[in-house]
Chain A
Amino acid sequence: MKQKDSNPGFGKGQVGIMEETVLQVENIRKNFGMTQALKDVTFSIRKGTIHSLLGRNGAGKSTVVNIIAGIYRQNSGKVLLEGKEISAYSVFDRQNMGIKIVPQHASIVPNLTVGENIFLGIWPQKKLFVDWKRLYEDAKAELDKYGLEVNPRTKVSTLNGVDQRKVNIIRAMHGGAKLIILDEPTTALSSKEREELFVFVNELKKKGTSFIFISHYLQEVVDLSDDVTVIRDGRSFAGADGELLSEEKLANLIAGEDVELICRDILDTPDESRLFMECRHLSGTILKDVSVKLYQGEITGLVGFPGSGARELCRTLFGLEKITSGEILYSKKKVVIKNPFDAIQHGIAYVSYDRHREGIVGLMSIRENISMPLFSSSLKTKWGLINQRKSEEIALRYFDRFHMKANSVNDRLKSLSGGNQQKVVVAKSVSTDPRLLILDEPTIGIDIKSREEIIENVIKTTEEKLTSVLYLTNDFDELLRTVDRILFFKDGKLVQDVRNDHLSHEDVIRLRDSVTEKSAGTHQEVSP
């Protein structure tokens, strides 16, 4: 655990001479119609600190943030900016006063340049026209000021994820920001990019800007935050009382009960009789000569930076990416997987890392989302119609098994919380009774309880049905609790294949960063 020696007064929030308070939230209550979203929320944010807000999906984090930004008005309670009550001010007033919000999904226009994105809505003008020369000069100055080395004339769409987010933050900083709200800024970033973003945020913090940080990654929160407030059941709880932050303690505080972290008994090396799928020299746009054997009942973890080939292997096996050479053997027979339809026919299922894009149909019900891969196969009656009763039965089974929170299986997906949506996506893939289950960030952006319920079900399926599982996640603690072996990828190649034999978080990072090609394709024991 990282030491917080830079913060002697941690968690106390005392207002000393050195520690001015930027924002105070006092006894906030907020109702939406009949439901009471916030009952009593109180916390304060010190100048030049990073203050994390934690809570399950739907706990009320967004409501708190929206009240601070002025998008919602609280029913009672106060919001004070530098001691001044600001509840009467509008969103725009508050922005001018220095409260800026950087939303979850980058609020940038990809096809415009970096410079124009920074000055979107506040273009410098010469009479009626945009003063492009000044815009780019000013943008250059802003970028230099915050140490982002990109040309203001490049299109934002050509930047990588982390630079796009930096542009977003610089846009917020422009015009003076006292408090910047970062709503899940690390979603879809690689761990390397995250670290880069944290360095950037820490620099700004040192210059006196305060941050509210919202994230589902506890590790991140522990590493980055000066203070933590947990929102649960509409009330606020201080994340630590003069103690160091611990991931487990926060997890329990968020859940309001002890969350049991699921841990799998790691399997021994399976014998060759369990071999059922083999990739031989797979190459594609990114993959380079990847050979790997997958066994029944084994959970195989995948680690690698974006573009390393880890995700590409998942998507190739499911027919979402093309191969240029190599072959896939399934029960020792060669198979061709051109698209997801073929893959599902061969007993392969895939959970995408991007739930909104590739996972859910928000307008359709839980039942229909789970049934989707079975529409034209096992759910089709001899008259060519859908067997509604069977579809309902399957949905109910998974509804109970995953402890989904909804009124019924007929609820539309878009009315569910992120965690429950993700449960549906995983249930959908499991419903096909796959022999190979590919999970690409199955727990991204969801609350801890849902995460554990998903992991529990994946392990259960693996053990009951001897499913082979590919498990890609950037949450290495989750990885180590779940998988039997780990494949490391770099530059499109499989560079190391290691059994999860008492590996630690640090081991995984070390292996990821130090991998070389020599041991590819062989099982190697690593002593921790």
Chain B
Amino acid sequence: MNNHWFQIKTKLLNNIVWILLLLAVIVIGGLDSSFFTPTIMGNVLSQAAVLGILSFAQSFAIMLGLIDLSLLGVMSFSATMGLILIERGAPVLLAIPVIFLTGALLGAMNGFLIAKLKAVALVETLAVKLTLLGAFLVITEGRAITSMPPSYKWFGQGTILGIPTLPIALAVVFIAVYVLWNKTPYGRSLYAVGGNENAAHTSGIKVDHIKIIAFTISGFLAGVAGFFLSAYMGAVTSTFGTSYDMNNIAASVIGGVACSGGQGNVLGVLGGVLLLTVIQVGLQILGVSSYYVQMINGLIIFVAVLLDALRLKTQHS
């Protein structure tokens, strides 16, 4: 095989998310030019925020070659905890840290069980998800929690210097994760553990710590996502966050985080998030029946996994 062509092919496959994003924007904008109005664009960025934060959370697990199914549960449960405190009269500034802390603790528990007790991540996180979603139903008895002060809602609906809060939150989380992954010993250790756990261990990296911290951050970010989504929607309902449930996995994988672990970058994940959001919003403004949406979501995950397989295949040839 020609070496030059091989390099181009690898580059293309690793950055395909941006090509797809460009294509999606052109197609949707071409069909309905109202897509390019500031309102819709702002809408895309706001919707991307929650999916983005969740996808970054998911990427920590995928970097380790694992899948975290518990994120939806963690996010709903954490947000509910904070809102119940508010209902009982606690100040907003107390409730918010409680939401984050609940997420981080649940994530730490996942990490501990997976790293120390060697629980299978897929099944363990599934159990946690089902339990938390169940607990959420028990606590709320199926009703929507809507009582929240304007100061809480501001975090999801307000603006800073004319810029909506949600895109700002996404940018902050993006930069934090970017620095963490690329510039810090922790981030490089995460890549090493994902790439070859035994070699990392033999190089003196504390593999268990890296894993527990990864899940703790992941849970924390799920809490953050729950907080912003609840503030944005002004409510926590029984279908809270379900539209982000599997899409966060799809966004990470389309963005180039390899399911086998140890490979991927934060910018790619952001690309994946924007792509999925553009498609979602695009379907809405094109007036595609909501019956199709789930099927299209399925197809997107399908594309993601095929891309992942193709990347792996190119590397091995």
Contact = CB atoms under 8 A, between A and B. Distances in A.
B240 interface: no
B195 A372 contact: no
B191 A364 contact: yes
Instruction: Specify the main secondary structure of chain A where it touches its partner.
Output: mixed
Interface in B179-213: 179, 183-185, 188-189, 191-192, 195-196, 198-206
Q: Which of A341, A350, A360, A428 has the most CB of B within 10 A?
A: A341
Nearest to A319: B204
Interface string A74-118: 000000000000000000000000000000000000000000000
Interface stretch (A30-38, A157-165, A457-465): A30-38
Contacts of A32: 1
B185 A380 contact: yes
Contact of A361 (B6, B185, B192, B204): B192
Nearest to B262: A363
A386 B184 contact: yes
Contact of A376 (B2, B185, B263, B315): B185
Interface in B72-128: none
B312 to A, nearest CB: 11
A385 B4 CA distance: 35
Contacts of A320: 202
A510 interface: no
A309 interface: no
Nearest to A349: B204
B3 interface: yes
A352 B189 CA distance: 19
Instruction: Specify the main secondary structure of chain B where it touches its partner.
Output: helix
Contact of B198 (A34, A344, A358): A358
A339 B207 CA distance: 11
A11 interface: no
Contact of B203 (A35, A363, A373, A385): A373
B5 interface: yes
Contacts of B201: 339-340, 358
Contacts of B196: 357, 360-362
A375 B205 contact: yes
Contact of B204 (A33, A35, A373): A373
A8 interface: no
Interface residues of A, number: 35
A182 interface: no
Nearest to B264: A363
Interface size class of B (residues with CB under 8 A): 20 to 34
Contacts of A343: 204
A428 B203 contact: yes
B185 A364 contact: no
B5 A33 contact: yes
A359 interface: yes
A392 B145 CA distance: 54
Nearest to B2: A33
A375 B188 contact: yes
Contacts of B188: 368, 371-372, 375, 386
Contacts of B4: 33-34
Contacts of A341: 204-206
A385 B182 CA distance: 9
A372 B1 contact: no
A386 B5 CA distance: 34
Nearest to B182: A386
Interface in B280-317: 315
Q: Which of B188, B191, B263 has the most CB of A within 10 A?
A: B188
B183 to A, nearest CB: 4
Contacts of B200: 361, 372
A363 B202 contact: no
A358 B1 contact: no
A379 interface: yes
Q: Which of A34, A363, A379, A414 has the most CB of B within 10 A?
A: A363
B204 A340 contact: yes
9 pairs of A and B residues whose beta carbons are closest in the complex: A33-B2, A344-B204, A361-B195, A375-B185, A372-B203, A363-B195, A385-B183, A376-B185, A358-B202
Interface of B: 1-6, 179, 183-185, 188-189, 191-192, 195-196, 198-206, 262-263, 315
Interface of A: 32-35, 318, 320, 339-341, 343-345, 350, 352, 357-364, 368, 371-373, 375-376, 379-380, 384-386, 414, 428
18 contacts: A33-B2, A33-B5, A318-B202, A339-B201, A341-B205, A345-B204, A350-B202, A358-B201, A360-B199, A362-B195, A363-B191, A364-B191, A368-B192, A372-B200, A376-B185, A376-B205, A385-B183, A414-B315
